[in-house]
Amino acid sequence: MEWTEIIITVPSEYTSAASDIATMTVPYGFYTEDYSSVLEDVDEIAHTDLIDEELLARDRTHSLIHIYISPEENPAEAVSFLSSRLDADNIPYELSTGVSRQEDWINNWKKYFRPMPVGRKLYIRPAWIDEPSPAGRAVLTLEPGTSFGSGTHETTRLVLETMEDLITPDTRVLDVGCGSGILSVSAMLLGAKRAVGVDIDPLAVKTAEGNADLNGLRGKDISYVCGDLTEKTSGKFDLILANITADAIIRLVGGISAFMEDGAVCVVSGIIEKRAPEVIGAIEANGFRVTSQRELNGWVSAVFTK
């Protein structure tokens, strides 16, 4: 099995933020080359000013984050997610890939993506698999393409499992950072009245629209817009879903109130466990009340209201 290596090059001052985004892609299988403090580190640890010339010649102004993706994790989805989240956080970067050809990504990983139940009400079925679905569940037929959101990642599952008890026939849903559209399409299949998805990645918006059509939602009140949330979206919503990064959530809570109907609920995910206290603190500092939190394999989601 060939793994795909993704290398993100960022200025050293962005290493921590970019590493958090890398961790959201895969909590395993990555390491960071950061030589920005090599002189100080060698002096502190080895108590010497004699440094190998090769080490001394390394670029100390940039860090390299190496991420390793197995075929079943859909490398194309990971690349799309990394690009969109780095752009959203205004992190300057260069991204390169190796080991596997890009043409192989989209096909190789599909053999590992099988139909799966999520929560009590949803059943995710890949578009290329035609087999009977269990009775009593809403069936989401999904073609993730190169956009984030196949339902296999813990952060996505946390939102899907949480929102199934929050949707009624009157619920209007806003999906922030919609990716493949998995959250907004699922919301409509679970009975929501309306769904709007927004993403800065035009490819994600195209994929989300395709998944809405794939699930028979053409003509229904579901739409997608490309751009920044505050610039491209208007109106009030009863349920806001945001499976993004910790930093993006912290920024989001500063202005999300303008989109919340009275009694609205927000579900946020994509929070690395170690940063949960910081994110929860930011939510509460903006006048919201956190009503519940969930954790799954080192990832945290939170539900909050005004």
Q: Are strands 222-226 and 138-142 parallel, antiparallel or unpaired?
A: unpaired
What are the φ and ψ backbone dihedral angles of 209, each rounded to 5 degrees? Answer: -60, -40
Task: Average the pLDDT over each of 60-64, 172-176, 186-190 and give the range with the smallest value.
Answer: 60-64
Instruction: Report whether CATH 3.30.300.250 matches the domain 148-305.
Output: no
Looking at per-residue confidence, does 39 or 166 come out higher? Answer: 166
The answer to whether 148 touches 132, Cβ cutoff 8 Å, is: no
User: What CATH class does 4-108 carry?
Assistant: alpha beta
Per residue in 49-105, pLDDT (tens digit) is 433 444 444 567 888 888 888 766 777 778 877 887 788 788 999 998 876 555 554
**pLDDT-above-70 percentage for the chain:** 82
Cα 150 to Cα 20, 114, 179, 289, 303: the distances in Å are 20, 10, 9, 30, 22
Q: Where are the domains of the chain?
A: 4-108, 148-305
The model's pTM is 0.73
When pLDDT is averaged across residues 227-236 and rounded to a whole number, the result is 83
> For residue 140, what pLDDT is reported?
92
